[in-house]
Amino acid sequence: METARGAERQPSAARSRRRELLEAADRVVLRDGPKASMNAIAAEAGITKPILYRHFGDKGGLYRALAKRHTDALLSALRAALDAPADRRKRVESTLDTYLAAIEARPQVYRFLMHPSDSPAGTATPAEQGFDVGRHSAPLLRRLGEELGQVIAERVDLGPDSEQTARIWGHGIVGMMHAAGDWWLGDRPCSRERLVSSLADLLWGRLAAAGDLQGGPGF
Amino acid sequence: METARGAERQPSAARSRRRELLEAADRVVLRDGPKASMNAIAAEAGITKPILYRHFGDKGGLYRALAKRHTDALLSALRAALDAPADRRKRVESTLDTYLAAIEARPQVYRFLMHPSDSPAGTATPAEQGFDVGRHSAPLLRRLGEELGQVIAERVDLGPDSEQTARIWGHGIVGMMHAAGDWWLGDRPCSRERLVSSLADLLWGRLAAAGDLQGGPGF
DNA sequence: GGCAAGGGTTACTTGCGGTAACAACAGTGT
DNA sequence: ACACTGTTGTTACCGCAAGTAACCCTTGCC
């Protein structure tokens, strides 16, 4: 049976082809943003659609592969910031800044990653009525949240049930970072440093510490 | 010229029709989630597509109208929680809980609201190449963030430049709430009360106050 | 030469957003 | 009574993007 040998003939060829395709996809996403079409990506790669489908199954597959690349890159950068030898406040600030610098540098890629553009579930099978409630948010945020939660659980002493608290905080902090970053990217109302320090202040409990102002409720 | 009189003839009729259409849209969104198609909505309303387009312009218009309804409702509930006569911590917890209860009650609607499904820019005018960088996040979150920022600016004493800090915090807190809620809605790893109190703890600076654990960086 | 395996293409189907063109009915001026 | 205009609705279509079926053309092995 030479089929097995033939199938595993040149795995590096397929791998490198895949890399080429992903880089082409990267380029067109960088150019067209989240509305990059399969046709456009194929054209950029110098081939036609069916090949993309042979490699990635469907658009979601390509999306996942692309997202994994960028998420991995971003995550390793964030890990580095998180692991810097400094006090906790500095590490938090540096992590926030790393994230914001990343989305500032390549907003198109960032937008693409946050836009899963719906799963193609409702195509052939009309019986696919089981709607998966929840789970709509970009996988990137989920992963970041999980990872951050793990880091917090490893490093910070949170008393009983710390595992769960850490997960909650991980997702919460990532969401804070994301939403603030997204807003900031649109209006650019202040410098990055300002944003970073304000968010760190928020996490540092300045909301709890601040005094009331005139005209409060029940007044 | 009777055209002006004719145009303003029965504004109530058009208004009530619009309400009917929106309620039909609501029903189908509640049933089909964010992938509700214009055809389906029209069918549910007992009419056909072009009428929807006459009333709302395009899918984005219908989306905006629908979003406004729910956002207004949610916002007034949140305002009530925010204005309750209690201390700040209690108010924050109650606001978080209100939001989470809302998304828990109607996850399909919530998912639809978070999915703007791309602006229809690339239809007739191929010259519309100017990609609006940033600004992808759901308008709902933007509005919530702005409103919360305003409330914070009105009520909390943040020293100099408080306006900007309050806006940043508004968007940050809303993002935290949203991301944590989205994650929680998927896995349901804990009760709502637990989630609320953990998030409030986070905002109350417990991250800053907690001690280090073994195995930290630079150790 | 024969022949399986892939890489590659053209041409198609399906589904959706969006639109034109047309049909029926109300009120109004003459 | 009758044409005229505006509203409400329809059918039938366009364009586009995802995804697929069927067919080529090269390459290496016997």
Tens digit of each residue's pLDDT, chain B (219 residues):
443 444 444 556 677 888 889 999 999 988 888 888 999 999 999 999 999 999 999 998 998 999 899 989 999 999 999 999 999 999 999 999 999 999 999 988 888 887 665 444 433 333 333 344 444 567 889 999 999 999 999 999 998 899 999 999 999 999 999 999 999 999 899 999 999 999 999 999 988 887 777 655 544
What residues 107-166 of chain A have any CB closer than 8 A to a CB of chain B? 107-108, 111, 114-115, 117-118, 122, 131, 133-137, 141-142, 145, 152, 154-158, 164-165
**Does the structure show a pLDDT above 90 at A211?**
no
Query: In chain B, which residues have their Cβ closer than 8 Å to the Cβ of A194?
Result: 164
Asked if the C-beta of B169 comes within 8 angstroms of chain A's C-beta atoms, the answer is: yes
Residue A213 — very low, low, confident or very high, per pLDDT cuts 50/70/90?
A: confident
Asked if the C-beta of A35 comes within 8 angstroms of chain B's C-beta atoms, the answer is: yes
pLDDT at B219: 45
Contact between A6 and A43 under an 8 Å Cβ cutoff? The reply is no
> Of B122 and A179, which is predicted with more confidence?
A179
Q: Write the pLDDT tens digit of every residue in A126-159.
A: 333 334 444 456 788 999 999 999 999 999 999 8
**Pairing status of strand B211-212 against strand A156-157:** antiparallel
Contact between B181 and B144 under an 8 Å Cβ cutoff? The reply is no
Contact between B108 and A135 under an 8 Å Cβ cutoff? The reply is no
pLDDT at B129: 36
Residue A6 — very low, low, confident or very high, per pLDDT cuts 50/70/90?
A: very low
**Rounded Cα distance, B142 and B71, in Å:** 11
Query: Does B205 contact A201 at a Cβ distance shorter than 8 Å?
Result: no
A67: CB partners within 8 A, 6+ apart = A113, A138, A139, A140
**Does the structure show a pLDDT above 70 at A16?**
yes
What percent of chain A lies above the pLDDT cut of 70?
81
Mean pLDDT over residues A104-108, rounded?
A: 90
Strand C positions within 7 A of protein Cβ atoms: 4-11, 15-21, 28-29
> Of B214 and A36, which is predicted with more confidence?
A36
* A8 CB neighbours strand D below 7 A: no
Query: Does B217 contact A84 at a Cβ distance shorter than 8 Å?
Result: yes
Is the Cα dihedral B162, B163, B165, B167 positive or negative? positive
pLDDT at A111: 83
Mean pLDDT over residues A98-103, rounded?
A: 96
> Of A205 and A2, which is predicted with more confidence?
A205
Q: Which of A95, A109, A94, A146 is nearest to A31 (CA)?
A: A109
Residue A100 — very low, low, confident or very high, per pLDDT cuts 50/70/90?
A: very high
**Rounded Cα distance, A166 and A168, in Å:** 5
Residue A212 — very low, low, confident or very high, per pLDDT cuts 50/70/90?
A: confident
Strand partners, B157: A211
pLDDT at B119: 44
Residue with CA nearest C1' of nucleotide C16:
B37
Q: What is the mean pLDDT of chain A?
A: 83
